[in-house]
Structure 1
Amino acid sequence: MKKIWLYSVRMYLRLGMFFYFKKVLVHGINNIPKDKPVLLLGNHQNALLDPLLIAVYANRFSFFLTRAAVFKKTLISKILKSLQMLPVYRIRDGWHSLTNNNAIFETCSKLLYQNEAIVIFPEGNHNLERRVRPLSKGFTRIVFDTLEKYPNIDLQLVPIGFNYQDALNFPDSTSLIFGKPIAAKEFISKNRHDNVNALKEAVYSELKKLTTHIPQEHYEDVLNKLKALHVDFLKPKEVNKCIESGFISCNKKETSKVSGLKSIFKLLLIINLIVPYTIWKLAVQSKITELEFVSTFRFVIAITLVPFWVLIISVVLLLNFGWFVG
């Protein structure tokens, strides 16, 4: 039953993403081992959409470390846990709650020993900035605790680069790039402190190759130049090369020749979905305080209110004009 539930949710989310995204590109999916324990480590730009993309497009079901605050309500907690989400506690949840992470990390080690996959966003927070932020130590603790408890485990770490063309806009396009797996055993030595730093640096270095990385210094200036050059942010390797070359070696994104027609279709879509669109604009979007959540709430509206609205319209048409029109 659990597999049926997970497959059903995945299929529904995939259908939602088919309509939500203009384009979803997935590269390097075969870099995820199917028969080994795996930690999937991604940069974190776009709140809930990042883990949802992994859940939909990865080649195996994963467990997700999720901030504990969303588990407070009993019903929501049961739903999240049924979707293989595990609560992880942060300082903002209270110092006393941090000890709960011991049990969570132990659970992660057991899951990895059972050849499961776990998703972690090692930056520790989300931000729309196009750069990889310094990594926290949380994922390294899971790695080395697991290696100590199960010395023979062949734990693999797969870095993931999330790339969005324009996360605040709709429809958006995205590319998911799975990097080459890193064998955790390669970072074992006598000094755990050195191991932690070496592992963090290795993952950080790989993530910078899989997504656009604009150094924090002169960030806005560099970003504006890239936008002016119309680079394709779905191709981070090319964008990073553009930055490194001092904006000399830059490839422009292919522009659509039917932009006017697309605007007409978008207007027709809004008219057809006027009720959920109005709810989104007036009741939801205006109350979002963190830009990272704009796409998340828009997608939630798209997969909840929109289907209900379309169903209502279909029933009304059916009752008044017959089955064919409905």
Structure 2
Amino acid sequence: MKYEKWSWGYWCLKQYVRFIDWIIHKKTILTGEENIPQNKPILFAPNHQNALSDPMAILLHTRFQPVWLARADIFKKGIITLLLRFLKIMPVYRLRDGKEQLAKNDKTFSDSIKVLENNFALALFPEAAHSAKRQMLSHKKAVPRIVFMAEEKAKENLDIHIVPVGIYYSSYWKFNRTVIVNFGEPIRVNHFLDEYQTNSNAATMALRDSIYTSIDKLTINIKSKTFYTDFELIRELYGKHFLKRKGEEYSEINLFRSDRELTHKLDAMETDRPEEVNTVIREAKAYNQLLKKYKLRSWLLENQKNNFVKIAGNKVLLILGLPVFLFGFVFNAIPFFATDIPVRKKIKDRAFWSTFFLSSGIILFPIVYLLQLWAVSGFIPGIWLKLLVLACMPFSGKIAFRWYVVWLKTWGRGRLFNLKLFNKKGYNNLLTAQNQLFEKLDKLISSQTLNSEL
């Protein structure tokens, strides 16, 4: 197979998967697209936290048909290998695959050079594994080795540009999530070639570190090993308040950038002020336990203005949207729960959950849609009306889920309203816990900012 050739079959599949991806996500935000070079050989180097969703975030939202390099052990004989090659995925053999297998990398590197020579794009995860956390793993040497070898074999005439990519998910597996894809300024391999000629190992390490630093600026990377879970909890509880305290308007991209700043400060405080960090973590856990006790979310306490009016307005919206919800639920419940329940029970690594949901959207949902249309076709007159019903099934599923989200928010507001009305002690305890936590974090972060400036 000639990986460097444009594939119409790949293009058609890409458009179909792009539609499925749109159904799954609430919003996809791209930044830094101007950093992707034109008419240059490119290697995309993204962080890796969410299995198949990560390559989808790049290949579905760029003009390229990127050729991915993946570990060789996923290439099984038969249809799987044929499918992987159709998807422009090439095997890279590691020492663990057997020393005798390493020679096969010569063909992979040769094909990689052809891709780059034709100004197509390669893609490779520098971490060589996914973390399933907002925490970047240490980088391996694969990316520098491949680009240096490609330049060496091409007599340093390629001018490869490595494009660092930071991928962020509002949730790693929930339906209707937001994904943010940040393309960073390209790293030119040419800038490291002189050092590579005199000290190849030093150049490899320098390029590896440069890639890590570039990606680190583009994603949320909680570096703490001890307090990762605690800092993630603080981000969820305090993040929107921190954004508001900075005087910035709420948007997904603003919240992402604010959360990145917040987690960076928390990491710094672990080193500078460990005792105070331990104290604020205990208060965050206590506040979170109160929220669980009353089955509430922190944002409800922060957005109480006109709560009763919002409840009434949402109820009207829910009533008006009920017929659409019922249509969407009826025609999407079977494939949704047939995927959701087994995946949650059987798949231990949550990073793969979104992969199964995407695969289900590509394969299972269309099959079930056709079977359901066949089952009710006797009640639907005319071929065009039948096709209209079929076309409405995926859209109604997306709308039905949003209806369900509005229902959850309305129910949450109702619980808070009842708590405030009938359990003032519990409400005051909850509000006091939030205020104390936020005030302590405000002071800690303000002093941390001052210390950084000094």
Give the alignment's TM-score, normalised by structure 1: 0.88
CA distance in 1, matches of 2:165, 2:374: 43
Within the candidate set 272, 279, 293, 2:338 is matched to 279
* Shift in alpha-carbon separation, 1:266–1:181, aligned structure 2, 3 A: farther
Shift of 1:202: 0.7
Partner of 1:294: 353
Shift of 1:168: 2.5
CA distance in 2, matches of 1:104, 1:176: 28
Partner of 2:211: 203
Deviates more, 1:196-205 or 1:100-109: 100-109
Shift of 1:266: 7.0
CA distance in 2, matches of 1:320, 1:205: 60
Partner of 2:159: 154
CA distance in 1, matches of 2:81, 2:222: 37
Q: Secondary structure at the match of 2:136?
A: coil
* Shift in alpha-carbon separation, 1:244–1:138, aligned structure 2, 3 A: closer
Partner of 2:43: 39
1:84 aligns with 2:93: no
The number of aligned residues is 320
Contact 1:210 1:236 in 2 (8 A): no
Contact 1:68 1:87 in 2 (8 A): yes
CA distance in 1, matches of 2:191, 2:80: 39
Q: How does 1:81-120 map to 2 (within 5 A)?
A: 81-120=85-124
Shift of 1:63: 0.5
Contact 1:209 1:236 in 2 (8 A): no
Partner of 1:75: 79
CA distance in 2, matches of 1:174, 1:271: 28
Partner of 2:445: none
Q: Secondary structure at the match of 1:273?
A: helix
Structure 2 letter corresponding to 1:199 = L
Give the alignment's TM-score, normalised by structure 2: 0.65
Contact 2:239 2:258 in 1 (8 A): no
Partner of 2:260: 240
Q: How does 1:7-22 map to 2 (within 5 A)?
A: 7-22=11-26
Partner of 1:309: 368
CA distance in 2, matches of 1:291, 1:14: 22
Structure 2 letter corresponding to 1:206 = S
Shift of 1:35: 0.7
Within the candidate set 114, 122, 126, 2:126 is matched to 122
Partner of 2:175: 170
Deviates more, 1:159-168 or 1:99-108: 99-108
1:167-223 residue CA offsets vs partner (Å, 9 max, x unmatched): 132221101111111111001211111111110111100100100011133212211
* Shift in alpha-carbon separation, 1:139–1:184, aligned structure 2, 3 A: same
Contact 1:44 1:121 in 2 (8 A): yes
Shift of 1:268: 6.3
CA distance in 2, matches of 1:197, 1:183: 15
CA distance in 1, matches of 2:129, 2:265: 30
Partner of 1:194: 202
Deviates more, 1:195-204 or 1:90-99: 90-99
CA distance in 2, matches of 1:94, 1:205: 32
CA distance in 1, matches of 2:147, 2:113: 8
Shift of 1:71: 1.9
CA distance in 1, matches of 2:157, 2:374: 59
Partner of 1:134: 138
Shift of 1:133: 1.4
Deviates more, 1:5-14 or 1:274-283: 274-283
Structure 2 letter corresponding to 1:18 = W
Contact 2:134 2:220 in 1 (8 A): yes
1:228 aligns with 2:232: no
Between structure 1 and structure 2, the one with the greater Rg is 2
Q: Which has the higher contact order (CA 8 A, sep 6+)?
A: 1
Q: Secondary structure at the match of 1:57?
A: coil
Paired-residue identity, %: 29
Shift of 1:69: 2.8
Structure 2, gaps ≥5 residues long: 241-250, 268-298, 304-309, 390-454
Contact 2:41 2:161 in 1 (8 A): yes
CA distance in 2, matches of 1:271, 1:317: 12
* Shift in alpha-carbon separation, 1:94–1:273, aligned structure 2, 3 A: farther
Deviates more, 1:225-234 or 1:270-279: 225-234
CA distance in 1, matches of 2:86, 2:342: 29
* Shift in alpha-carbon separation, 1:223–1:320, aligned structure 2, 3 A: same
* Shift in alpha-carbon separation, 1:246–1:46, aligned structure 2, 3 A: closer
Contact 1:270 1:277 in 2 (8 A): no
CA distance in 2, matches of 1:275, 1:42: 35
Q: C-alpha root-mean-square deviation of aligned residues, in Å?
A: 2.7
Shift of 1:318: 2.5
Instruction: Kindly indicate which of the two structures has a greater share of residues assigned to strand.
Output: 1
1:237-284 residue CA offsets vs partner (Å, 9 max, x unmatched): 32221233449xxxx9x98x7888689777864443222123213444
Structure 1 letter corresponding to 2:362 = I
